[in-house]
Homo-oligomer: A and B are copies of this chain.
């Protein structure tokens, strides 16, 4: 079996570390693993398959001989590195939002539109985390009848802000229990025992950049360019799984039973829907694995072609790192 040289760009972040761990877990055929990060981290090591692997500085010469680059860096780094990655002949599977809406960049959730990856020209984008989790839940319904509108309210974990977000919640909770003053660094406000109903920047129409991703990326992934989506993104004091309360209205009515069956037979999702037995998707249950849990499926009461559901998935894994490695698997 062919072995590949895989670079992880932004290897020291929460998503970068998870990518390395998932490459190991999925037994991805790695010849050489090359962790790349900023100058600050260069020379330090990260563990891969039991061996200490030296971090190199991400720069023009870092990609020579690399087959696949898994990007877990911010937009500016992704943009700066893309030309060097392409020049080196590697494929760039990028988790930033820099290239997601480019016409010649496939935006991929393998279970939904894996076929689109074939048309790549060197860059494949990994969608936004809440978008992946929501679409995993609604794509089986959209296959029965196209989604016309979607209203979503998110419950997003602190891991969405990286390791800093995780530390912030840990530290605030510890300070609370010890009776000390809570420090606010990563988020705009205290997150422990609080909610922050704003994620991303102001996109000009009253929605945040994060809120518009579900419509913009969802249209591209589901091949539904007319789909209308209203989204409200809220940060909650949960560690690493995102949850979404969703109302979908389809072109033709889809029954609760049809939706259940579609989810039961779809890959990557788990029907978790027994209200009487206290069984529904919860962040604690989805954290640390790749399946998106879907439950609370019921007829919408405001529109006869509507369905309501609640879904939940690990933001660091299926929402980011696992989806990226699954895209890489499509390439080999």
Contacts and interface: CB of A to CB of B under 8 A. Distances in A.
5 contacts: A149-B302, A189-B278, A193-B284, A194-B284, A197-B281
B198 A230 contact: no
Interface of A: 149-151, 153, 155, 169, 173-174, 176-178, 188-190, 193-198, 202, 205-208, 215, 228-230, 232, 234, 236-239, 243, 245, 247, 249, 256, 275-276, 278, 280-284, 295-303, 306, 308, 310, 312
Given A194-B283, A206-B297, A155 B236 contact: yes
Contact of A301 (B169, B188, B229, B283): B229
A282 B238 contact: no
B176 A302 contact: no
Q: How many copies does the complex hold?
A: 2
A128 to B, nearest CB: 16
A296 B189 contact: no
Contacts of A189: 278, 282, 284
A245 B197 contact: yes
Contact of A282 (B197, B256, B281, B295): B197
Given A194-B283, A215-B301, A230-B247, 6 more contacts: A149-B302, A189-B282, A189-B284, A194-B238, A197-B310, A230-B300
A239 B193 contact: yes
B275 A198 contact: yes
B299 A197 contact: no
B206 A256 contact: yes
Nearest to A232: B245
A194 to B, nearest CB: 5
Residue in A196, A208, A249 with the greatest tally of chain B CB atoms within 10 Å: A196
Contact of A195 (B198, B229, B276, B283): B283
A245 B234 contact: yes
A303 B173 contact: no
Contacts of A188: 278
Nearest to A212: B301
A58 B102 CA distance: 69
What 7 A-B pairs are tightest by C-beta distance, nearest first?
Answer: A206-B298, A153-B153, A149-B302, A153-B245, A188-B278, A177-B177, A232-B245
A232 B310 contact: yes
A197 B296 contact: yes
Nearest to A309: B232
Residue in A196, A237, A245, A297 with the greatest tally of chain B CB atoms within 10 Å: A245
A111 to B, nearest CB: 23
A238 B189 CA distance: 14
A296 B174 CA distance: 31
Nearest to A206: B298
A197 B280 contact: yes
Contacts of A150: 302
Nearest to A298: B206
